[in-house]
Structures are given as structure tokens and as C-alpha cells.
Amino acid sequence: MKRFVVSCICLLMFGLSSAVAQESPKTPKIPKPEFLQQKETPNAISANVGLYSTDQLLTAIISIPLAFQEVDGAKPISTCIPVGVRYMRTLTPTISVGAAMHYTGNYYEYRDDNNLDGHYSINYFSLSAECRFTYLRKNLVKLYGSVGVGLSYINLLNRKEGQSELDEHAATVAFNISPFGIRVGRQVGGYIELGVGYRGLVAAGVDIRF
């Protein structure tokens, strides 16, 4: 009899504990902020500036006398750092493709006793196709690398009083390799890239996804 009573009490306690466990509320999950729940749209357009592009380095080599010292009165007046725009479309969570346009240039003046005798300029315009590989995503942060190749149009103009005018045009391969890039943001974001090519050794910009 005692065994029967003990068994009934054990069964009763087990049933009560199961019922309490089923009725007890579960810990609610904290929802993500709304901006983290937004789905990333596939298209993006961006604008960027850079420093020390291959075009700038090539200009320095071509114009060594003008770039590093005054020769025949040639004085550096302005240098345009690499500026560009880019369109990218996301094909998969890791692969994006697109196109980019960039410009950089240098301008010098020839002066004799503060009188303008002419000017010298070299300009680069590039158009390229690009591919980007995203290797890490974490909320608003994205790490990626990119490569681009295309065509660069070069215009060299030299005008000086008493000399024949030089107006040269040429085309060459344009390229950019950025093994490291970091972007922060969702629909609107900012990014920094390190690499070599028409975008520069370091480049920064903003983009908008749509």
C-alpha cells in the first residue's frame, strides 16, 4: 500500500512539474533593429577620391623635371587627385560586377618674370570593367577585394612661346587591384580601399544602393 501511495505521489509531482514547464513563458527573442532587417538592394553607384594612382606616378616619371624642380620657368600650378564614379551590380552574395570611370591630371605654367609664356598639362581618362569579391559580411560591415581592367586615354599638351606646340594623344591599359576594402552602411555607406592602380594606393568614397 505504501508503495502504491508513493508511486501516485511521484506521478502527481512529475505531472505538475511538466505542466508548469509547458505553461512557463519562453524568453522572448530581441528583434533586430529595423535598419538591420532591410534587404540589400542589388545596384550601387559610388563616387570616390584617391591618392597616388599609377597615372599620377606615370606623370611624375614623364615630367620629372617639371614635377620636382623648376626647369625653364615651369611651375606646378595644380594637381587633380584621382576622382571617379562606379556602378556595381550584385550577382551573388559574394560576387559583384560593374564599370568605373576615373580622371586625374597635372597642370604647369611657364613664366618669365611673372609673365605667362605658356603651359604644360597631362590628363588621364580611364574606363574599366570591375569585379568585386566579398569575403566577409557582419551586420553593417563588409570586407571585400576588387580588380578592374580597361583603357586609359592620355592627353599631353605643351604650349610655350617661341616653341612649336606639342599635343599628343595615346591609349594604354588601365588597371586597378584592391585586395582590401571595407564598407560600412546599408543602403548608404562609406568605404575605404587599399591597392594599386587608377584608383590610387588609398581611396575613399560613398555609395548609394538602389
pLDDT in tens, 103-127: 988 777 777 677 777 777 889 999 9
Q: Tell me the torsion sign for CA atoms 10, 16, 19, 20.
A: negative
Q: Using the predicted structure, report yes or no on whether residue 41 has a pLDDT greater than 70.
A: yes
Helix (H) or strand (E) holding 20: helix 2-23
In DSSP terms, which residues pair with 128 in a beta bridge? Answer: 100, 150
Q: How far apart are CA 198 and CA 110, in angstroms?
A: 28
- pLDDT higher at 15 or 189: 189
Q: pTM here?
A: 0.71
**C-alpha cell belonging to residue 67:** 614635377
Q: Please give the domain boundaries of the chain with CATH numbers for all domains.
A: 39-209 (2.40.160.20)
Q: How far apart are CA 168 and CA 12, in angstroms?
A: 98
Averaged over 6-10, what is the pLDDT?
A: 53
Say how many CA atoms lie within 13 Å of 118 toward its Cβ: 15
